[in-house]
Amino acid sequence: MYFKKEFLDKLKDGKKIVFFTGAGISAESGISTFRGKDGIWNKMKPEELANFDAFIRNPDLVWEWYQHRRNIVNNALPNAGHTAIAELEKFYEVSVVTQNIDNLHRRAGSTKIFELHGNIERNFCIECHTFYNSPELETTNTVPKCKKCGGLIRPDVVWFGEMLPQDEFSGGEKAAEWSDICFVVGTSAVVYPAAHIPISAKRAGSYLVEINIEPTELSRYTDYSWFGKAGEILPKILEEVKKFKN
């Protein structure tokens, strides 16, 4: 495996690393990405499902769609990419800043995770804001009602037109700015404000490395773009690190 020297030096000297991840890191776990030829947004219009008005108009339909995605996520396993990131915690101070809602970084063992777009396992009442984890709710395909006030319960994910959770965003942005290396893995990097994070990292002097199966909007800003599957490249990086960090 060929490693660019400059990148290898960064790996040797670096202490803080950040992984900014998107749907592509979970593709090898069998979870569809949003864009691209097999993307979910080719089959479903986001404006019909992933927004608050759609939920109010047809809560059962939106709930059912998320229930379908919960089933996919629960039956999926973290892949070699997620696992390599978790194992890198033995050698670096690692932060994961993810746009994914699928919990696979946590299940792989990563401990410091900023979830920019929420988490499909968490839900809340739109009236009184009581939180419910998915297993506490009946797994029917109709929208559940709050035990306290009877309000509709929605998934705690960010929909179109909604703000990102501020603590997660600012925590993720700081981690990126303080990092020595920022890896951008499996994201088209077109959805803002999330996509600002790797740009902030680069502006603050972090070494920006992209891992993707194809070039993206970000490729022209990166210090190093590496084209291939995340589940194959990340374990190779881990192997290389073990050679000099052990």
Q: Which residues are marked as active site?
A: 117
Stretch that binds ligand OAD, among 9-17, 55-63, 88-96, 207-215 (CB under 6 A): 207-215
State the Cα–Cα distance between residues 151 and 127, nearest whole angstrom.
5
Q: Is 165 in the site for ligand OAD (CB under 6 A)?
A: no
Report yes or no: 114 and 89 within 8 Å, Cβ to Cβ. no
Rounded-to-5 percentages of helix, strand, coil across the chain: 40, 20, 40
- 207 Cα distance to chain centroid: 20
State the Cα–Cα distance between residues 119 and 102, nearest whole angstrom.
6
The entry of Zn ion, ligand OAD, none near residue 191 (CB within 5 to 8 angstroms by kind) is: ligand OAD
Of positions 83, 99, 123, 179, contacts ligand OAD by CB under 6 A: 99
SS3 5: helix
Question: Going by C-beta distance under 8 Å and a sequence separation of 6 or more, which residues neighbour residue 73?
Answer: 31, 102, 103, 104, 120
Of positions 20, 28, 179, 222, contacts ligand OAD by CB under 6 A: 28
In terms of CB distance, is 188 or 225 closer to ligand OAD? Answer: 188
Rounded to a whole number of angstroms, the minimum distance from the CB of residue 50 to Zn ion is 22
Per the structure block, which two tokens stand in for 16? 């803080």
Rounded to a whole number of angstroms, the minimum distance from the CB of residue 99 to ligand OAD is 3
Ranges of H-type helices in 16-117: 24-27, 40-43, 46-49, 52-57, 59-75, 80-87, 104-108
Of positions 17, 18, 27, 237, contacts ligand OAD by CB under 6 A: 27
In terms of CB distance, is 146 or 181 closer to ligand OAD? Answer: 181
In terms of CB distance, is 33 or 95 closer to ligand OAD? Answer: 33
Per the structure block, which two tokens stand in for 169? 């965003």
Strands (E), the chain: 16-21, 93-98, 113-115, 118-125, 131-133, 153-157, 181-185, 207-212, 224-227
Q: Is 22 in the site for ligand OAD (CB under 6 A)?
A: yes
Site for ligand OAD in 166-195 (CB under 6 A): 186-188, 191
Sheet holding 131-133, edge to edge: 131-133, 118-125, 153-157
Dihedrals phi, psi of 79, to nearest 5 degrees: -105, -175
Of positions 11, 17, 18, 23, contacts ligand OAD by CB under 6 A: 23
Site for Zn ion in 133-152 (CB under 5 A): 146, 148-149, 151
What x-and-dash track marks residues 42-81 binding Zn ion by CB under 5 A?
----------------------------------------
* Residues found near ligand OAD in the complex (CB under 6 A): 22-24, 27-28, 33-36, 39, 50, 99, 117, 158, 186-188, 191, 211-214, 216, 229-230
* Residues found near Zn ion in the complex (CB under 5 A): 125, 127-128, 130, 146, 148-149, 151
